[in-house]
Amino acid sequence: MTTGRPNPLIGFLTARLHLDRAGLLRTAIVLTLSAMAAFAVHPLGEVASALVFVLGITVAGALSGLASALIAALAAFLIYNFYLTEPALTFRIATGGDLAPLVVFNLCALVSGVLAGQLKDHALAARSSNLQLNSLLALSQELQSAARPSDVVVTVERAVHRILGARATLFQADEDGLRCLSPLPCEARWHDFANGIAHAPQVSGDSPLIGRRLELANAPVTVLVLEPLRPGKIKPAFIDAVANMVALTLERAALSEQITERRAVARAEKLKSALLASVSHDFRTPLTAISASASSLIAYGEKLDAETSARLLRGVVDECERLNRYTANLLEMSRMEAGGIAQPLQILGAAEMAGAALHRIRPRAGGRQVTLHAPDPDLPVAANPALFELVLLNILDNAILYSDEGARVEIAISAEDGACRIDIADSGQGIPEHALQRVFERFYRAGRPDTTGRGSGLGLAIAKGFVEALGGTIHATIPGLDGRGTRITIRLPLAEAMQA
């Protein structure tokens, strides 16, 4: 920031010639001591006294900076000239021979004072900029933690207060003008000040408040306002650095939010197209069977024998059931994707649920032998009944889809360490070992290219979502029964255990 600094030399001097009370005192003490020493060594000659003064000026410069050195040099010259050069007690110089040492003395004093003073000033400046850098670093670290735009304001307020000792907040323009972003109410004078900054960034005035308009791409006008708790401690350039940092933080948070949003959109898009593909693939086959059966009954009804007609009608009902389950699966998948789980939960008997699922799947089991083994018929679990049944049907349906006529399917329910364990095992085709984890992924069909699989690729994904939402686990292992096939093991917390 270059406000009000037309001449660099004046600026340099104003900056360098600042001397506080303590510096003045130090200079006076050093000067007094060197004057006493100079008088003490005067009998040894004027040169000795002069050197003592040079030493004093250098010390003054080293202790209190350039201004102190210059003051000390001037004072030493006067004292030396008045008391120590002939004729004493006058400022007059007796001979030309007296003039030369005086001039040399003054030059030496001035140069060494300036050098020492500059050294001191540089050291001070280095220390101060080091402190500023440390503050900026601490601020930057703290601002890093603000991941979302909504966090940035609070983080800025907290960090600026803690590290810079100032109150701060942000204002941003919307349709109604500047709005205070702080979660706490903003004072009217802050608001007015922010408005001033927004319209004329150079305005400073005599307000204790400091403001900067932030340079943001693709964002409405944003203003940072600060009020140092101790006035006059913070330099404009430092405020600029802080403002830049806050602007960067805001931009970073906005970008990161954009990326998160894009990712969420992309993920939703992907799921949506996968669901659509699933609809177009999985609904087609049952629909084809239904359409072919019904149109056959219409067109060839009288040519078909009673048994065939009944089988076609049975097929229509079965395929409607299948469509119904696909629809339920799609709905559940969308619901799980939205982060919910079907409510309400009820206390259900696991064995009873398995029995009901068995009853529904049996007409579709063909020549497969499906059995239920539940020694303890009363293991209670808390779940949504419709979803629980859907999950059991999905697993049973897989067992039937991927096994041949004559295969065995067995459901076993038992208590195990305070959990209800449900095993559904079959003697069907089984799952390749490398796919045992992946079968629970959406749209994954073990060992089949995606377009020809018979299942929707949703059943086990929904089972996993359901089980995990209830705090349970689900695993697939091989073999299932008779040394082949698949075993799906579900563990759900027992309802009493949940209440305990």
Partner 1 sequence: MTNILLVDDEPALIAVLEPVLGAEGYSVAVASGGVPALRMAEDIRPDVVLLDLGLPDIDGKDVIRALRATSEVPIIVISARHQEGEKIAALDHGADDYVNKPFEIGELMARIRAAIRRSSSLKNTPTTYRSGPLEIDFQARRVSLAGDVVKLSPKEYDLLRTLALSAGQVVTHKRLLAVGWGSDTADSQYLRVYIGLLRQKIEEDPSDPRLLATEPGVGYRLASAS
**Which 3 state secondary structure label does DSSP give 150?**
helix
Considering only 24-32, 38-46, 262-270, 301-309, which stretch makes contact with partner 1 by CB under 8 A? 301-309
Q: How far is the CB of 451 from partner 1 (least distance, A)?
A: 6
- What's the rounded Cα separation, in Å, for the pair 210 and 228? 8
At a CB cut-off of 8 Å and minimum separation 6, what does 315 contact? 289, 290, 293
DSSP code, position 164:
I
Considering only 6-14, 155-163, 306-314, 351-359, which stretch makes contact with partner 1 by CB under 8 A? 306-314
Q: Which of 289, 328, 342, 470 binds partner 1 (CB under 8 A)?
A: 289
Residue 295 binds to partner 1 (criterion: CB under 8 A) = yes
Of 62 and 316, which CB lies nearer to partner 1 in the complex structure?
Answer: 316
| Cβ contact 233:164 at 8 Å | no
Q: Measured between alpha carbons, how far apart are the two ends of the chain, in Å? A: 67
Residue 299 binds to partner 1 (criterion: CB under 8 A) = yes
Considering only 115-123, 130-138, 243-251, 446-454, which stretch makes contact with partner 1 by CB under 8 A? 446-454
Q: How far is the CB of 433 from partner 1 (least distance, A)?
A: 20
At a CB cut-off of 8 Å and minimum separation 6, what does 162 contact? 142
- Cα separations (Å) of 320 from 155, 243, 314, 315? 57, 65, 10, 8
Residue 448 binds to partner 1 (criterion: CB under 8 A) = yes
Residue 118 binds to partner 1 (criterion: CB under 8 A) = no
Of 263 and 311, which CB lies nearer to partner 1 in the complex structure?
Answer: 311
Q: How far is the CB of 309 from partner 1 (least distance, A)?
A: 9
Q: How far is the CB of 308 from partner 1 (least distance, A)?
A: 4
Residue 296 binds to partner 1 (criterion: CB under 8 A) = yes
Alpha helix (H) ranges present in 95-187? 96-144, 149-159
Q: Which residues of 64-82 are buried (b: 16+ CB within 10 A; e: fewer)?
A: bbbbbbbbbbebbbebbbe
Q: How far is the CB of 311 from partner 1 (least distance, A)?
A: 7
Considering only 144-152, 175-183, 218-226, 311-319, which stretch makes contact with partner 1 by CB under 8 A? 311-319
Considering only 72-80, 307-315, 325-333, 436-444, which stretch makes contact with partner 1 by CB under 8 A? 307-315
Residue 281 binds to partner 1 (criterion: CB under 8 A) = yes
Considering only 74-82, 232-240, 248-256, 298-306, which stretch makes contact with partner 1 by CB under 8 A? 298-306
DSSP code, position 338:
T
- What's the rounded Cα separation, in Å, for the pair 210 and 202? 11
Considering only 55-63, 142-150, 313-321, 463-471, which stretch makes contact with partner 1 by CB under 8 A? 313-321
Of 161 and 281, which CB lies nearer to partner 1 in the complex structure?
Answer: 281
360 to 399, contacts with partner 1 by CB under 8 A? 366
CB atoms closer than 10 angstroms to residue 290: 19
- What's the rounded Cα separation, in Å, for the pair 227 and 39? 53
- What's the rounded Cα separation, in Å, for the pair 191 and 194? 5
| Cβ contact 452:460 at 8 Å | no
Q: How far is the CB of 411 from partner 1 (least distance, A)?
A: 22
Compute how many residues bind partner 1; rule: CB under 8 A.
31
Residue 303 binds to partner 1 (criterion: CB under 8 A) = yes
- What's the rounded Cα separation, in Å, for the pair 51 and 46? 9
Q: Which of 280, 339, 433, 499 binds partner 1 (CB under 8 A)?
A: 280
Residue 275 binds to partner 1 (criterion: CB under 8 A) = no
Query: Pairing mode, if any, of strands 473-477 and 380-383?
Result: unpaired
Query: Pairing mode, if any, of strands 177-180 and 210-213?
Result: unpaired
Residue 291 binds to partner 1 (criterion: CB under 8 A) = yes
**Which residues of the chain form contacts with partner 1 (CB under 8 A)?**
277, 280-281, 284-293, 295-296, 299-300, 303-304, 308, 311-312, 315, 318-319, 322, 366, 448, 451-452, 454
